[in-house]
Amino acid sequence: MAGAHIQVRDLTMAYGDFVIQHDLNFDVNQRDIFIIMGGSGCGKSTLLRHLVGLKTPAKGSVTIDEVDVWAVGPDERDAVLRRTGMLFQSGALWSAMTLAENIALPLKRYTRLSAVEIRDLAAFKLALVGLAGFEDYYPSEISGGMKKRAGLARAIALDPEILFFDEPSAGLDPISAKLLDDLILELRDSLGATVVVVTHELASIFAIGNNSVFLDAESRTMIARGNPTELLKHCEDSRVQRFLRRGEIDA
């Protein structure tokens, strides 16, 4: 299953004249769990927005399955990005809809399934993330960790080839965060999906990541890439080491 699923080349991200990051070059391989990491304010979530088609690059390209998503028309871009799923930091569930109704939204929009088939598939997706029996609950009636899992169920509604996560463990206690990490691994294996995760949580980085890019806020570019565990062992850049060893430093 080797091979680049996403290629980023000479990418510059900016808001007007203010450059967030420049000269980003990396590959996300098929079935990677790819970590976008770095300190606060370095542009991790901004990079994710470029990858999912929400922010236009100031320069450079983002290629998914050999399609430059910013060099094609909106219809072709939408067709490529429809093969992806996104879990937002808050879960981004519609509060006035039940969990089943939230999961049904992309199914209603992009498939021709009947109402009964959509209801059954929504229940199946919720079961995959450990929420069987919660179809008729509203987001306000469940815990933060359950909201994250419900958001994940919606992200996998259309069986995406690529899953994007923005700070999936944010706001979760350590046990819930560990359960979510385990679920990400299970879904990667069961769906055969490629996973891209923005996170600063060391436990998650080492538990699930097999590839990564490190963004530096000071130089405004990437300063390391590769397996996080290997970077911890072999990367000589002190900025990377401070980030990956901060738990030991703080202890």
Angle at 166 (CA atoms; ends 23, 141), nearest 5 degrees: 170
Q: Name 48's Cβ contacts closer than 8 Å, sequence gap at least 6.
A: 36, 164, 166, 196, 198
pLDDT digits (tens), the chain, 251 positions:
457 899 999 999 999 999 999 999 999 999 999 999 999 899 999 999 999 989 999 999 999 999 999 999 989 998 998 899 998 876 678 999 999 999 999 999 889 999 999 999 999 999 988 899 999 999 999 988 889 889 999 999 999 999 999 988 887 888 888 988 998 999 899 889 999 999 988 999 999 999 999 999 999 999 999 999 999 999 999 999 999 997 454 43
Domain boundaries, the chain: 1-83+162-168+194-251
Q: How far apart are CA 157 and CA 151, in angstroms?
A: 10
Q: Which two tokens stand for residue 9?
A: 């080349």
**For the structural domain made of 1-83+162-168+194-251, what CATH number should be given?**
3.40.50.300
Closest CA to 126 of 105, 154, 94: 154
Closest CA to 5 of 25, 24, 33, 27: 27
Quote the pTM value: 0.90
